[in-house]
A and B are shown apart, each in its own frame.
Chain A
Amino acid sequence: MFQFDSDLPSALERRGISRRTFLGFCAAMTATLALPPRFIPRVQAALEGADRPILIWREFQDCAGNTESLLRSSHPAIADIVLELFSLEYHETVMAGAGKQAEAAMEKVIQEQKGKYLAVIEGAIPMGQGGVFCTVGGRTALDIARQVCSNAAATIAVGACAWDGGLVRGAPNPTEAVGVQEAVPGIKVVNLGGCPHNAANTVAVLVHYLTFKELPALDQYGRPLFAYGNIIHDQCERRAHYDAGRFVEEWGDEGHRKGWCLYKMGCKGPQTNYNCPRVGWNDGTSWPVKSGHGCIGCAGPRFWDTMDPFYNRLPNVPGFGADVTAGQVGLGITAATALAFGAHGVASAVRAQVRPKEAVEKPDANKLPAETPAIQATEEKPE
């Protein structure tokens, strides 16, 4: 195995990453973590002094999209710095080893570094039929996850699938896929939902761990608050158009060209907690709403089922066709009620006309003929 005989600054220098870039990275991570700038030297010192903690990155029911999101960042810094900061002992997509040797290397880490290494999980874990739908090296994903996660210092679930099953769990979920926290209950886990995860957030979690020796503050879904503490809608650059009431009505219309709010096009920004607008994608170049497409809520819980349809405000009404909205059903019920009571009104008017006089004068015996005894016939008249 490749031995690291130098500290982080010289290792970065060998990769062609200048100190300026590294300090820029420290500043960016501090900002992502929503820490004030005075933490930059602390982050820098922690990263330089880190003794290369071990990462085991396992992929299960995934598309490697989260790996790609991390590695393909055009700006080289994030991936390079992570690769130098951590000792990535297992990662199917980037490791040189393969087969039994790779599995043996992972086994060795789990034995020797028990409770010290960090586990990163990408992809959902199938529970159906004993987990046979995803096996690596002859072992089920569930089996591997149990071993890797329960021996790790902490587990980081990257992407929607690893968090809560994501797309893989979408109805009808034939493999009974779930996220890591459900597959291996009781482990210490940070969920980084989103399809894919935002590499900046994931690395910021790692940086937080290295700097403060603990995981960042989490919300009720186990997601770091620095990234998932606010809804997208409240951070959106198109928010002013929403507040003003200026909306895109159809793709390519005047409002769309002018960059108005995509709310009416089914944007899920108001439902979704994420820091897309602040951190951005492709090294902060853009994010979906900035590029003119509504948010699909990929960072929301069970987004594949709950945020569907992506181009409507609200989910379809169960039991009705795909094109029937809640408003149409509601209007139908309202109209039916109006019709029913309108008809009742006409019938009541007719009743008032044909009502026999004695029925009004003697309401105690006002039944129609051949009815049950009059209401007060059995009652004692109170005096």
Chain B
Amino acid sequence: MAATIRPLGLSAEQPAEDRPKRDELVRVYVWELPVRAVHWLIFFSMIVLSVTGYYLHNPFFIVRGQAAFTLATMRFIHEVTAFVFSMAFVVRIYWFFVGNVYARWKAFVPVTRRQRRGLREMLKYYLFLRWVAPQEVGHNPLAAGMYLLVYLLFLVQILTGFALYEWVLGTEPLRTMFGWLPRLINIQYLRETHYFLMFISFAFTIHHVYSALLVAIEEANGLMGSIFSGHKFVPAKVVEQDAAEIEQDAAPNGEPAK
């Protein structure tokens, strides 16, 4: 396990004198290509979906002329983008199970002692009870917990969105897949939920960008660049400790693997 996440320059075979010093920054490959691809697919599709979706709720400009086809075009773009978004979501869920240790589902459920401690310390940092943010190689557990809620929000958006789509289309296989939803919850409430959660996703985006900037500046770990390159810069000792702790978590009875 540990070998897969140990970054270049920290491998055990390397002679001790060549290995980086404890405070030296090392380059760690954290976000694999699918994680970054999904991130940017979701980024762009959220922008498109929000603009077109808001237009569908409230067509805020009117095009004059006989050949206008504005709303139908918006709706078409919204629906096509919705498929892109949903597929990106599906890929990410798949990557929960096959990705590296920073992308696995276990990183997002703060249940281990290490995660709970990290969550507590990060919360203290946000509440100004710590001077410096605790350093993590992957997601800090507080952020990871938030992402789990965001994935839940995405899931609700996908379900309600496809239920609305099915309501119009009324064909298989969407009818079997999503037709049960309007029978449980009236279509008007599904529509309202779908619309309202857009604003929650705005609020999340504000938080997400702010927190990423904050941590990137405070820790100087290249966090902003990492979503493009996949690499973060973390002190060697943090990487070592992280690897050891993950190894310990992965061990069957909590003992560090020899």
Q: Chain A: residues with CB nearer than 8 A to chain B? A: 220, 229-231, 233-234, 242-247, 263-264, 270-271, 300-302, 306-307, 313-315, 317, 326-327, 329-331, 333-334, 336-338, 341, 344-345, 347-348, 351-352, 355-356, 359-360, 363, 366-368, 371, 375, 381-382
State the Cβ distance, B177 to closest chain A Cβ, in Å. 14
Give A61 to B129 CA distance when docked, in angstroms: 65
Instruction: Judge whether A337 and B207 touch: CB under 8 Å.
Output: yes
Q: Which residues of A contact B210 (CB under 8 A)?
A: 341, 344-345
Tell me how far the C-beta of A365 lies from the nearest C-beta in chain B, rounded to whole angstroms.
10
* Chain B hits for A345, CB < 8 A: 210, 214
Which A residues are CB-close (under 8 A) to B93?
A: none
- Alpha-carbon gap, A336 to B207, bound state (A): 11
CB distance from B222 to the nearest CB of A (A): 17
- Complex formed: what's the CA distance from A329 to B131 in Å? 35
Chain B contact residues, majority secondary structure: helix
With a CB–CB cut-off of 8 A, which chain A residues contact B130? 366-368
Q: B196 near A326 (CB under 8 angstroms)?
A: yes
Q: Closest CB-CB distance, A263 to chain B, in whole Å?
A: 7
CA separation between A233 and B126, bound complex, in Å?
Answer: 49
Q: Which residue of A lies closest to B214 (CB)?
A: A348
With A244-B68, A264-B59 known as contacts, the answer to whether A314 contacts B195 (CB < 8 A) is: yes
Q: Which residues of B contact A317 (CB under 8 A)?
A: 192, 196
Contact A360 B58 (CB under 8 A): no
Taken together as a complex, chains A and B put the C-alpha atoms of A317 and B200 apart, in Å, by: 15
* Chain B positions near chain A (C-beta within 8 angstroms): 57-59, 61-63, 68-72, 74, 117, 121, 126, 128-132, 134-135, 167-168, 170, 179, 183, 186-189, 191-192, 195-196, 198-200, 202-203, 206-207, 210-211, 214, 217-218, 240-241, 244-245, 256
Residues of A within 8 A of B245 (CB): 382
**Residue in B74, B206, B241, B244 whose beta carbon sits within 8 Å of that of A341 in the complex:** B206
How far apart are the CA atoms of A326 and B186 in the complex, in Å? Answer: 16
Contact status A271-B191, CB under 8 Å: yes
Whole-angstrom distance between the alpha carbons of A382 and B255 in the complex?
12
Flag if B71 contacts A243 (CB, 8 Å).
yes
Q: How far is the CB of A377 from chain B (nearest CB, A)?
A: 12
Partner of B126, one of A244, A306, A344, A366: A344
Residues of B within 8 A of A270 (CB): 168
**A307 in complex: contacting residue of B68, B129, B135, B188, CB < 8 Å:** B188
Q: Which 7 A-B pairs have the closest CB atoms?
A: A330-B199, A245-B70, A382-B244, A359-B131, A243-B72, A337-B203, A244-B68
CB < 8 Å: which of A245, A331, A351, A355 contacts B62? Answer: A245
Smallest CB separation, A352 vs chain B (Å): 7
Rounded to whole angstroms, the CA-CA distance of A375 and B131 in the bound complex is 13
Provide the residues of chain B in CB contact with A329, threshold 8 Å.
196, 199
**How close is B60's CB to chain A, nearest CB, in angstroms?**
10
Q: Tell me which residues across on chain B come within 8 A of A333, comparing CB atoms.
A: 199-200, 203
Given contacts A244-B63, A344-B210, contact A360 B131 (CB under 8 A): yes
- Using Cβ atoms and an 8 Å threshold, which residues of chain A touch B189? 306, 315
Are A382 and B241 closer than 8 Å at their CB atoms? yes
Task: Check B196 against A244 for contact (C-beta < 8 Å).
Answer: no
Q: Give Cα A359 to B207, complex, Å.
A: 26
For B62, the chain A residues whose CB sits under 8 A away are 245-247
In the complex, which of the residues A245, A306, A382 has the most CB atoms of chain B within 10 Å of its own CB atom? A245
Cα A230 to Cα B169 with chains together (Å): 9
The winner among B74, B132, B170 for most chain A CB atoms within 10 A is: B132
Instruction: Return chain A residues, CB-CB under 8 Å to B179.
Output: 220
The one of A347, A367, A381 in contact with B241, judged by C-beta atoms closer than 8 angstroms, is A381
B179–chain A nearest beta-carbon distance, Å: 7
Contact of A375 among B61, B134, B207, B214 (CB under 8 A): B134
Are B71 and A245 neighbours in the complex by a CB distance under 8 Å? yes
Measured between alpha carbons, how far is A333 from B218 in the docked complex, in Å?
27
What's the nearest-Cβ distance from chain A to residue B116, in Å? 12
Who on chain A is nearest to B240 by CB?
A: A382
The chain A residue with its CB closest to the CB of B179 is: A220
Residue numbers in A under 8 Å from B195 (CB-CB): 314, 326-327, 330
Question: A264–B57 Cα gap in the complex (Å)?
Answer: 8
Residues of B close to A263: CB separation below 8 A: 59
Docked pose: A63 CA to B61 CA in angstroms: 43
Interface centre among A231, A263, A341, A371 (most CB of B within 10 A): A341
Question: Which A residues are in CB contact (< 8 Å) with B72?
Answer: 242-244
Q: Chain A residues with Cβ under 8 A from B69's Cβ?
A: 243-245
Q: Given that A230-B170, A352-B218 are known contacts, is A368 also in contact with B129, CB under 8 Å in the complex?
A: yes
Nearest opposing residue in chain A for B134, CB measure? A375
Report the nearest B residue to A358, measured CB to CB. B131
Q: A271-B191, A314-B188, A337-B206 are in contact. Are A368 and B131 (CB under 8 A)?
A: yes
Contacting residues, chain B, for A347 (C-beta < 8 A): 128
Assess whether B131 is in contact with A356, with CB atoms less than 8 Å apart: yes
Q: Is the CB of B132 within 8 A of A331?
A: no
Complex partner residue of B206 from A313, A315, A334, CB under 8 angstroms? A334
| Chain B neighbourhood of A264, CB < 8 A | 58-59
Q: How far is the CA of A273 from the CA of B68 in the complex (A)?
A: 27
Cα distance, A313 to B206, chains bound together (Å): 27
Q: How many angstroms from the CA of A313 to the CA of B72 in the assembled complex? A: 18
Min C-beta distance of A319 to chain B, whole Å:
13
Contact of A351 among B68, B131, B183 (CB under 8 A): B131
Please tell me which one of the listed residues B128, B131, B192, B241 contacts residue A314 in the complex, with CB atoms under 8 A apart.
B192
Besides the contacts A247-B62, A271-B167, what 6 more A-B pairs have beta carbons closer than 8 Å?
A264-B58, A271-B187, A307-B188, A333-B199, A334-B199, A355-B132
